[in-house]
Amino acid sequence: MDVSIIIVNYRSREKTRGCLLSLQKADFSNISHEILVVDNSETADIDSSFQAEFPEVQFLYAEKNRGMGAGNNLAATKAEGKFLLILNPDTAVRKTAVSTLFSLLRDRPDIGIVGPKLLNPDGTLQYSCLRFPEFWTPIFRRTFLGRWAPRHLARYLMIDFDHCETRDVDWMMGSCLMIRTDFYRRAGGFDERFFMYFEDIDLCRRAWREGLRVVYCPQAEVVHDHGRGSARDRWFIAPFTSRLAREHILSWLKYGWKWRFR
């Protein structure tokens, strides 16, 4: 098996359907693949009628929602592909996206993780390849203090890069990543201490530590309907009103402790 595609669903049935429909239209010429969907919902969001729409998909059910990383890890234990394609349910792959990522990873054994250019639903660029965060980065991004740190944020978001050429990057958003399965398993998959957020940064750091490159490939394009759920409320009330905001803060602290913001 060449590629195992993993989608973790959490109360996002319609978005998962859209993602699966985009995969049906994708070019898989000469690429053997399988699709695994993990339902992380407390109550089964994926029922028999949904399964009947996509008979080619393997559906897995988590006993409880232990987070995005744990959901992907569950599917990875069942995966048979040489490469894993991690997809968020709010993504839609363009026709040649998967084959482009696959060809690059297959032909370059020094690459551990490759990711596409992410686009907003209106076709504009989404900043998805970034530099490693510093301690103050999340604070600048989430509060009014960011207006006094434009250079810091521009560097973090790689605004100085035209996003039109293939290049090594520090890390990429986990919305769509193709990863060598042997590396993923050797590394223990996503660190499940991160319930949500920072698990992608952490995995990219571990790839670089092993001497494997992390590569941004803009020739592959994926539309990402990115809601930024943790940033919907004002910064000073979000920790009290949003579980996602609390998880973001907690993951930031765990990441900082683990890597000491190196």
Given a contact cutoff of 8 angstroms between Cβ atoms, the answer to whether 86 and 69 are in contact is: no
Structurally, how many domains does the chain consist of?
A: 1
What is the dihedral sign for C-alpha 252, 117, 74, 89?
positive
Q: pLDDT (tens digit, 9 = 90+) per residue, 36-51? A: 999 988 777 888 899 9
Phi-psi region of 163 (alpha: psi -120 to 50; beta: other; left: phi over 0): left
Q: Once rounded to an integer, what is the mean pLDDT over residues 172-188? A: 97
pLDDT band of 262, cuts 50, 70, 90:
low
Q: Once rounded to an integer, what is the mean pLDDT over residues 143-151? A: 78
Q: Give the N- to C-terminal CA distance of the chain in Å, as an integer.
A: 37
Beta strands 57-61 and 33-39, pairing class: parallel
Query: In 3D, which of 228, 222, 229 has the Cα closest to residue 91?
Result: 222
pLDDT band of 162, cuts 50, 70, 90:
very high
- Residue 67 confidence (pLDDT) above 80: yes
- State which H helix or E strand residue 146 sits in: none
Contacts of 32 (CB under 8 A, 6+ apart): 1, 2, 3
Q: Once rounded to an integer, what is the mean pLDDT over residues 86-113? A: 98
User: Considering the domain boundaries, does residue 165 fall inside one?
Assistant: yes
Its pTM stands at 0.90
Contacts of 158 (CB under 8 A, 6+ apart): 127, 129, 130, 131, 169
pLDDT over 70, % of the chain? 92
pLDDT band of 140, cuts 50, 70, 90:
confident
- Residue 151 confidence (pLDDT) above 80: yes
Q: What is the CATH number of the domain that holds 12?
A: 3.90.550.10
Q: What does the pLDDT read at residue 233?
A: 47
User: Considering the domain boundaries, does residue 246 fall inside one?
Assistant: no
- State which H helix or E strand residue 34 sits in: strand 33-39
d(CA 180, CA 190): 13
User: Considering the domain boundaries, does residue 97 fall inside one?
Assistant: yes
User: Considering the domain boundaries, does residue 219 fall inside one?
Assistant: yes
Query: In 3D, which of 88, 92, 66 has the Cα closest to residue 196?
Result: 66
Q: Once rounded to an integer, what is the mean pLDDT over residues 206-210? A: 97
Given a contact cutoff of 8 angstroms between Cβ atoms, the answer to whether 137 and 252 are in contact is: no
Greatest CA separation found in the chain? Answer: 53
Q: Once rounded to an integer, what is the mean pLDDT over residues 133-140? A: 79
Helix axes 243-259, 199-209, angle to 10 degrees: 20
Report DSSP state, residue 133: P
Grouping H, G, I as helix, E, B as strand and the rest as coil, residue 25 is coil
Q: By residue range, what is the domain housing residue 115?
A: 3-131+161-228
Mean per-residue pLDDT over the chain, rounded: 89
Grouping H, G, I as helix, E, B as strand and the rest as coil, residue 174 is coil
